[in-house]
Structure 1
Amino acid sequence: MKVLHVNAGLETGGGLTHIINLLKEAKKEQEDFTLLCLAAGPVADAARAAGLRVQVLGITSRYALSSLRQLSDFINQNGYEIVHSHGARANLFLALIKRKLRAQWCVTVHSDPYLDFEGRGLAGRAFTFANLRALRRADCVFAVTKRFANLVTDKVGVMPKKVHVIYNGTFFHENSEIRAKIAHPGFNLVNVARAEKIKGQELLLQALKKLDYASVHLYIAGDGPQLPHLKDLVQQLGLGPQVSFQGFLTQPQLTDLYRQMDLAVLTSYSESFPLVLLEASDHLLPLLATTVGDIEMMIPDSEHGFVTPVGDVGELTATLKSALNRPTADLKKMAAREKDYVAHHFSLQQQLTSIVRVYQELLAG
């Protein structure tokens, strides 16, 4: 079975991690998967660094619809049986050439399609409309949470028989492979997310101010359009000594940062099934997250982590305080318990097996 995964190529967040991890597992299992990026960029670079089979179409403009013939020829002439797109731009291009394809077409919904282009004016509304139309035309839709599955059937209008819930997975190391923590003063929080409004870093900064614990330090790892605003807000709130902006970090850099952290925090308004939390858990960090996506599947109860309502600064502050007041030994036990749980339920091998099974069903008709 020849499978082509297609992405615009400019992704730097969880989508990039999802694609690269899935294809690494496919290579390990000797599946015939290839990655096609519409443009050169972070995704193709990460794929090459991982030793994956990757092609770049070389589209220089997101509006370069003249490249559609080039894309359809690449798919048909190479005999791909399944084409699997990730991201709105790739979805749009595949929707426009679907009638010319001999392959079956799958889409993964990584995030809420109604929020992906929020705040981007007329162009954002146009891309949202095009992406929703693409989801309806696909032969198969993978949703990374039950909530997204319900959204694409009930609101977008995708036929339920086309939709499959498959949770994100990641590679988990043996605990003996995790490097020892680095001793540090105070209590360190890490937030790994793109600097966008939907990720809720503004909420986290406000909670840090209300918490009023000088010994707490927040590290924000990620780039994005909200970064200048967040830096200004830090100064307005007088949090300069307590907040460090790390920018975009490579996986080795992030691994080093985790060694100095005490709690991983994600305060998003909307998420799918956040890989960053699985990765933090792999490095034996306790987790705190808002009630986004199917987070209850990842953090099933208070013995496995901390969960707080979306958008509520007061509740977030109280939950942070609860974490800070836990004895260090209790937090270590919580982190170990959570890793055992997620490693058992959300491995890359399980994710790949579920996806390949759907591919086979699709080709069998």
Structure 2
Amino acid sequence: MRIAMVIEAWKPICGGGQVVAYEVCKRLSKNYDCKIDLFVMNLEGYTGPEVEKRNENFRIIHVGKKKKWKFKDRLIWLIEVFFTLLKENKKSDYEIIYAHSNLPGIIAKLTSFILKVPSVYHVHGSGVRVINEMYNETLAGKIIYFLEDILQTKIKYNLEITVDRDFLNFENVNEPVYIPNGVDHSNFKAKSKKNKKTFNILFVGRLHPQKGLKILIDASRDLKNLFEKKNVRIIIVGDGPQRSELCSMVCEYGLEEIFEFRGEKRGSDLIEEYVNADLFILPSLYEGFPLTVLEAWAAKLPVLVSDVGDLPYVIKDGENGFLFKGGSSADLKKKISRILEMDTSSLSQIAEKSYRKLVDEYTWDKIVPRIYEELKRVR
């Protein structure tokens, strides 16, 4: 099977969508002998070769001149990747055009029409219901809302994959197939939490309005005395456009001794953050199926997350994790207070249940075969 896969952001940007694209490409190329070209943006900060050959069947092609992660540059890149893909097709004769949301859906539809091959669209999370609220109904918010709605629900693809069961309830010209994300849990080794002097709450993700970190800071202001009593530290791992604003909020509320911004981390450094934490938190306004939750489970870490996207389907409150009402700092405050009053043994039991669920259902060795079967069906 010869596949042209398209995703916008790539190194130095690395979020859940990028990890999914890479893991799917790696396993399809190795385990099923698929020939895959992954087309990505050539972003400022990336210093590697234009074409990365990952194995005999898998290449990553950084398209165009160096660009910033700005909307104008992204639109220019769409034109560049369109012509680059058609050029590469003369040598590779692609059988499937596979795009990851959002804007690459345009490329998938256009090139599949021209080349007369199936189009696949992989939705990692839909913010259609909250984007206007998140951006306070600005012009940018209206444009993003319009594009997401069109690309995710109004354009017909041969196959649409979603990681979010809530997305199945949207009015949609497609009939999306639900396939969750996965994780390689073999790299995570949980550490003993005995004799720790601090209780570390960990957030991992992009510092962006979507992630709801203002809600966490608001809740923390009211919990400051409890945090000081319990010696709580909130570790923020990641970077993004909201960093300066979030740091200012922390200072304004006098929470400098509680919050610590550690920047973006990857590989073993990121795993170390997970295994040293006591609780993982994700207060997002919207999500699909966040990889960070699976990574926390792999480190046998209890999780506290908002009830958005696929999370209410996979987490039973108080059983294999904790849920709070998305967007509600009051509910988040209640849940954090409740967790801090629990003993270590109870939290460990919850973390162990989530780890078993991960091993049984959410490893890449279980997820990628499902994607491959769907690709065979539409080829």
Fold shared by both chains (TM-score > 0.5) = yes
Q: Which moved more, 1:213-222 or 1:179-188?
A: 179-188
Kindly indicate whether residue 336 of structure 2 is the aligned counterpart of residue 325 of structure 1: no
Q: For residue 42 of structure 2, what is the amino acid of its counterpart?
A: A
Using structure 2 for the length normalisation, give the TM-score: 0.85
Question: Residue 164 of structure 1: CA displacement?
Answer: 0.8
Q: Which moved more, 1:250-259 or 1:74-83?
A: 74-83
Q: For residue 55 of structure 1, what is the amino acid of its counterpart?
A: I
Match of 1:146 among 159, 165, 174: 165
Paired residue secondary structure (1:36): strand
Kindly indicate whether residue 189 of structure 2 is the aligned counterpart of residue 178 of structure 1: yes
Paired residue secondary structure (2:103): helix
Q: Which moved more, 1:47-56 or 1:18-27?
A: 47-56
Please name the residue that 2:233 is paired with: 217
Aligned residues, how many? Answer: 355
Kindly indicate whether residue 207 of structure 2 is the aligned counterpart of residue 195 of structure 1: yes
CA contact (8 A) 2:219 2:330 kept: yes
Please name the residue that 1:103 is paired with: 117
Paired residue secondary structure (1:240): coil
Q: Which moved more, 1:11-20 or 1:42-51?
A: 42-51
Q: Distance in 2 between matches of 1:49 and 1:288?
A: 39
Q: Which moved more, 1:320-329 or 1:57-66?
A: 57-66
Question: Residue 228 of structure 1: CA displacement?
Answer: 0.8
CA contact (8 A) 1:218 1:242 kept: yes
Please name the residue that 1:164 is paired with: 177
Deviations, residues 183-213 of structure 1 (Å, cap 9, x unaligned): 6412100011211112111111111221222
Which runs of structure 2 are paired with 1:22-37 in the superposition (5 Å)?
Answer: 22-37=24-39
Match of 1:353 among 366, 369, 378: 369
Which runs of structure 2 are paired with 1:60-75 in the superposition (5 Å)?
Answer: 60=67, 61-64=73-76, 66-67=79-80, 68-75=82-89
Q: Distance in 2 between matches of 1:26 and 1:94?
A: 19
Taking structure 1 as reference, are residues 24 and 229 closer, same or farther at Cα in structure 2, changes over 3 Å only?
same
Q: Distance in 2 between matches of 1:66 and 1:18?
A: 24
Q: Which moved more, 1:58-67 or 1:261-270?
A: 58-67
Q: Which moved more, 1:62-71 or 1:17-26?
A: 62-71
Q: For residue 191 of structure 1, what is the amino acid of its counterpart?
A: F
CA contact (8 A) 2:105 2:151 kept: yes
Match of 1:273 among 289, 312, 315: 289
CA contact (8 A) 1:166 1:355 kept: yes
Using structure 1 for the length normalisation, give the TM-score: 0.88
Please name the residue that 1:8 is paired with: 8
CA contact (8 A) 1:92 1:130 kept: no
Please name the residue that 1:312 is paired with: 328
Taking structure 1 as reference, are residues 22 and 312 closer, same or farther at Cα in structure 2, changes over 3 Å only?
same
Taking structure 1 as reference, are residues 133 and 203 closer, same or farther at Cα in structure 2, changes over 3 Å only?
closer
Q: For residue 185 of structure 1, what is the amino acid of its counterpart?
A: K
Which runs of structure 2 are paired with 1:221-300 in the superposition (5 Å)?
Answer: 221-300=237-316
Q: Which moved more, 1:292-301 or 1:114-123?
A: 114-123
**% identity of equivalent residues:** 24
CA contact (8 A) 2:156 2:174 kept: no
Deviations, residues 204-251 of structure 1 (Å, cap 9, x unaligned): 111122122211100111111111110000001100011001111112
Q: Distance in 1 between matches of 2:206 and 2:95?
A: 34
Q: For residue 115 of structure 2, what is the amino acid of its counterpart?
A: L
Q: For residue 347 of structure 2, what is the amino acid of its counterpart?
A: L
Q: For residue 195 of structure 1, what is the amino acid of its counterpart?
A: L
Paired residue secondary structure (2:180): coil
Question: Residue 123 of structure 1: CA displacement?
Answer: 5.2
Q: Distance in 1 between matches of 2:111 and 2:164?
A: 28
Paired residue secondary structure (1:21): helix
Query: How well do the aligned residues superpose, as a CA RMSD in angstroms?
Result: 2.7
Q: Distance in 2 between matches of 1:49 and 1:216?
A: 45
CA contact (8 A) 1:5 1:33 kept: no
Q: Distance in 2 between matches of 1:228 and 1:311?
A: 21
CA contact (8 A) 2:204 2:236 kept: yes
Question: Residue 130 of structure 1: CA displacement?
Answer: 4.1
Kindly indicate whether residue 53 of structure 2 is the aligned counterpart of residue 53 of structure 1: no
Q: Distance in 2 between matches of 1:351 and 1:263?
A: 26
Taking structure 1 as reference, are residues 28 and 326 closer, same or farther at Cα in structure 2, changes over 3 Å only?
farther
Paired residue secondary structure (1:259): helix
Q: For residue 203 of structure 1, what is the amino acid of its counterpart?
A: I
CA contact (8 A) 1:3 1:34 kept: yes
Q: For residue 190 of structure 1, what is the amino acid of its counterpart?
A: L
Q: Which moved more, 1:56-65 or 1:268-277?
A: 56-65
Q: For residue 174 of structure 2, what is the amino acid of its counterpart?
A: M
Q: Which moved more, 1:139-148 or 1:71-80?
A: 71-80
Question: Residue 301 of structure 1: CA displacement?
Answer: 4.2
Q: Which moved more, 1:70-79 or 1:245-254?
A: 70-79
Question: Residue 53 of structure 1: CA displacement?
Answer: 2.8
Paired residue secondary structure (2:3): strand
TM superposition outliers: structure 1 runs of 4+ over 6 Å:
42-47
Paired residue secondary structure (1:244): strand
Q: Distance in 2 between matches of 1:15 and 1:94?
A: 17
CA contact (8 A) 1:109 1:141 kept: yes
Unpaired segments ≥5 residues, structure 1:
none
CA contact (8 A) 2:97 2:118 kept: yes
